Structure 1
Amino acid sequence: MADPYFSPDCMRFLRNIAKNNNRDWFTENKMVYEEVVRTPALRFIADMADDLAILSPHFLAQPKKVGGSLMRIYRDVRFGRDKRPYKTNIGIQFRHEQGKDVHAPGFYVHIEPGECFVGVGIWRPDSPALGKIRDRICEHGDKWQSAINQKTFKKHYELSGDSLINAPRGYAKDHPLVHDLKRKDFIGISRIDDDSVLSARFRNKVFDRFKVADSYMQFLCQALELRY
């Protein structure tokens, strides 16, 4: 069996940066970040390429330090109140080939001590994309319900994200699927414990969780007229 990708030292680094979220500490520990966080994450991404191709050849695993599947550790502090300069997690997004940013449909891996999970779907789609998804739910409600109520999907995933208070404009407030039409995010979250992340079988577990969401991802891609 292959060696684990992520080590206890990786989790220790993430806990430490949460306690010491400042440029001086990060500069002093940047080599540790390279060794226990970025290097194993890039190796994991590279190895996931073959797995993703089995699910869909249109989602990309790009093991690049900048501009690939590994999200930057540097936070964008320009517009929020939280001015901490660094993220305290590893974020990996395998986005659709047609996507240009985190708002594209994709498969996601989040590693943070005590808060690890696998994610699928699309976060904060723009208005045209949101309309397409809602329209497809209206037109193919049976397929939508089949995807989200599939036994294995429902066992492992919880639909999450923000929703409107009222039915979106142009949709009946008494529509039987109005709860889903109110969604502003179409993401599923599947929790994973820290020990699984540190296991040599972590990649297999991630792939298995991605497979469970196959029908859900197909529905979203079809709604957005994207190849799956």
Structure 2
Amino acid sequence: MNFNIILDFLSDLRVNNNREWFKENNERYQKAKSQFERFVENLLPEIKQFDNTIDILSPKEFMFRIFRDVRFSKNKAPYKTNFGAFIAPGGRRSPYAGYYVHMEPGHSFLGGGIYQPDPKILFAVRTRIFNNPDRFKEIIQNKDFKKYFPEIYGEKLKTAPRGFPRDFTDIDLLKHKHYAIACKVDDTFWLEGRILDKVVDVFKNQYAFNHYLNQTIINVTGA
């Protein structure tokens, strides 16, 4: 896998984010996309070894398209400047927690969990934490987890969520709008070799976090 091909293409796309340039460089895009697809394909069985809920589907089922939906956005740039894949049970549209790869020059990260979850799922996760906060804290305070994920990522409510008491000792754990995590990596991470081993090590250490969330989510979805 040649990650230079991906990073070089995305770097050039960032400063030439228009349809004319993209059309002229479509061959470069296809080569970069092919490298990323191969990476996801090789990653799937590695994750499957420690998380058997992951289905071995076509890599495309986990990868996000590079084309942006600009209909309701002030930013009219037609293309994303990253390659991304969300590896979760059933593919990228899954409601379940999974493993996320975001490759973007200068802004890459590995992560997962659930982002912008359905309100019923969010309420269920908060309820489980409320009923037994020690179990959740045991996961997120584990030293191997914190090595990569020092905090839960994303926006938080300013006060207690509806339906939960403000004086709950661990109320901060319930204020999260997302239960997502992210570990930033620089460009050299992709270029120094042993890439699968390094990515798998990060993802292994978030398995308990995902498993906790998915145990809760399955009670909501029933699937």
Question: Displaced runs of 4+ in structure 1, greater than 6 A?
Answer: none
Matched, 1:34 2:27: no
Q: 1:122–1:187: 8 Å Cα contact kept in structure 2?
A: yes
Structure 1 residue corresponding to 2:10, chosen from 4, 14, 35 = 14
The one-letter amino acid paired with 2:46 is: D
User: 3-state SS of the aligned residue for 1:189?
Assistant: strand
> Structure 1 residues 102 and 123, CA, compared in 2 at 3 Å: closer, same or farther?
farther
Matched, 1:144 2:136: yes
Q: Is the 1:11–1:113 Cα contact (8 Å) retained in structure 2?
A: yes
Query: 1:102 offset after TM fit, Å?
Result: 6.2
- Structure-1-length-normalised TM-score: 0.90
Shift of 1:141: 0.8
Q: Is the 8 A contact 1:102 1:123 kept in 2?
A: no
Amino acid paired to 2:44: A
Amino acid aligned to 1:225: I
Report the Cα distance in structure 2 between the residues aligned to 1:64 and 1:109, rounded to whole angstroms. Answer: 12
**Alpha-carbon displacement from aligned partner over 1:147-190 (angstroms, at most 9, x marks no partner):** 10000111111311111121111111121221121111111111
Q: How many residues align?
A: 219
Cα distance in 2 for residues equivalent to 1:211 and 1:123: 19
Q: Deviations over 1:94-138 (max 9, x none)?
A: 0223x6726542100011111111012000001100011001101
- AA in 2 matched with 1:48: L
Structure 1 unaligned spans of 5+: none
TM-score where L is the length of structure 2: 0.92
**Pairs within 5 Å for 1:55-134:** 55-65=50-60, 68-97=61-90, 101=93, 104-134=96-126
Structure 2 distance, partners of 1:57, 1:151, is 24
CA RMSD of aligned residues (A): 1.8
Query: Once the two structures are aligned, what percentage of the paired residues are identical?
Result: 34
Counterpart of 2:196 in structure 1: which amino acid?
R
Alignment-derived partner of residue 196 in structure 2: 203
User: How many angstroms apart in 1 are the aligned matches of 2:83 and 2:180?
Assistant: 18
SS in 2 for 1:131: helix
| Contact 1:104/1:123 (<8 A) preserved | no
The CA distance in 1 between the partners of 2:102 and 2:92, in whole Å, is: 20
Distance in 1 of aligned mates of 2:185 and 2:127: 32
SS in 2 for 1:14: helix
Q: What secondary structure does 2:93 align onto? A: coil
Contact 2:85/2:102 (<8 A) preserved = yes
TM superposition shift of 1:52: 1.5
Could you tell me how far apart the structure 1 residues matched to 2:215 and 2:65 are? 30
Structure 2: which 5+ runs fail to align?
none
SS at match of 1:81: coil
